[in-house]
Structure 1
Amino acid sequence: MRSIVIRLSCLLFFTTNCHLAHAGELLQIEDAWLAEAPPVSKVMAAYMTIDNDRQQQQQAVAMVCKEFQRAEFHRTMDKDGIASMQHQQVLSISANSEMKLEPGGYHVMLYEPARRLLAGDRTGCSMEFDDGTTIEFDLVVKKASSTEHSHHHHH
């Protein structure tokens, strides 16, 4: 009997620890990309999907990319046919949902690139959340469409 209790205790311990180890996977960043910019550009726009499969809202509070001096969360607002950008302190992702950062909506502005990033390049980034979770990911540089260039060119 004691042998069974020990085995069940070990199984419970390892199952619980495995669950805790994978808890961070309930919060993911997918399809992260960066629009290629002209050679003189000091600002680039990044897009991605933040997937929150957790039972509570998560807030992205900071993002850092190795090849940029700073990153800011922004939202494109359209008022009376005029688009404007608003800085966002945090990005709130509801429980069991995803937030798409895309052209014309929420996005990340990256300032002062260390070098010119061309289509196909990758740059390492990390996003920090209010609960202390940090997710590391790569942004893949893609050719920008003409609407993306004109959309972000006034930053």
Structure 2
Amino acid sequence: MNNAFTSVCALFVGLALSGAAVAQHHASGAAAQQAAGPRSSTVTASDCWIRQMPPPTASGGFFVLHNGGTQDAVLTAAHSPDYGMVMLHQTTQEDGISKMSMVEQVAVTAGGQLDFKPGSYHVMLEEPRAGLHIGDHADLDLILKDGTTVRAVCELKSPKSAPPMAGHAH
């Protein structure tokens, strides 16, 4: 009986810790949203689209980030009012296998541009708001290290209409 009680207590503690971790992740996303500063005067985004996957599968966001400034720009986070979770990711090749991993920041050289595209840098979007459909548009706020933001308006596309990310793994 004592072992059963201990097992049940351990289960509840584990669930409580898991819930706290999820709540912390969501709180950090909300903090990023609230901390969003003024719009960048030198960095813009274009050609934004989202490969909209059926939930709970994560969707991928792709765009071109242009830096018209004289200093490198550093993207540190992303947020969308249309998704509960947005993360910066990069796909890399390792021993012939594509691997996706979260990245903390991405630099765009002064006067340059960086393509966020399948098989490279991209944003992962999870927990879409109810009512999003293929053909709709979603807002994506890109948060730069200097505290400014870049707004991208992204078209939601069918997974079948966009090039696949073959052989990727998390």
TM-score under structure 2 normalisation?
Answer: 0.69
> Which residue of the other structure, out of 39, 47, 52, is the alignment partner of 1:36?
52
Structure 2 unmatched ranges of 5 or more: 1-38
Equivalent pairs counted in the alignment come to: 131
Structure 2 counterpart of 1:69, which letter? G
Larger-Rg structure:
1
- Greater fraction strand: 1
The answer to whether the 8 Å contact 2:97/2:167 transfers is no
Q: How much does 1:43 deviate? A: 1.0
Equivalent runs, 1:58-137 vs 2, <5 Å: 58-115=73-130, 117-137=132-152
1:88-143: CA deviations, max 9, x gaps? 00111111100000001110001111225322111122111011111222111122
Residues 70 and 118 from structure 1, CA distance in 2 versus in 1: closer, same or farther, beyond 3 angstroms? same
TM-score under structure 1 normalisation?
Answer: 0.75
The answer to whether the 8 Å contact 1:36/1:143 transfers is yes
Residue 27 in 1 paired to residue 43 in 2?
yes
The separation in 1 between residues aligned to 2:150 and 2:71, in whole angstroms, is 17
Structure 1 unmatched ranges of 5 or more: 1-22
- How high is the sequence identity, in percent, across the aligned residues? 24
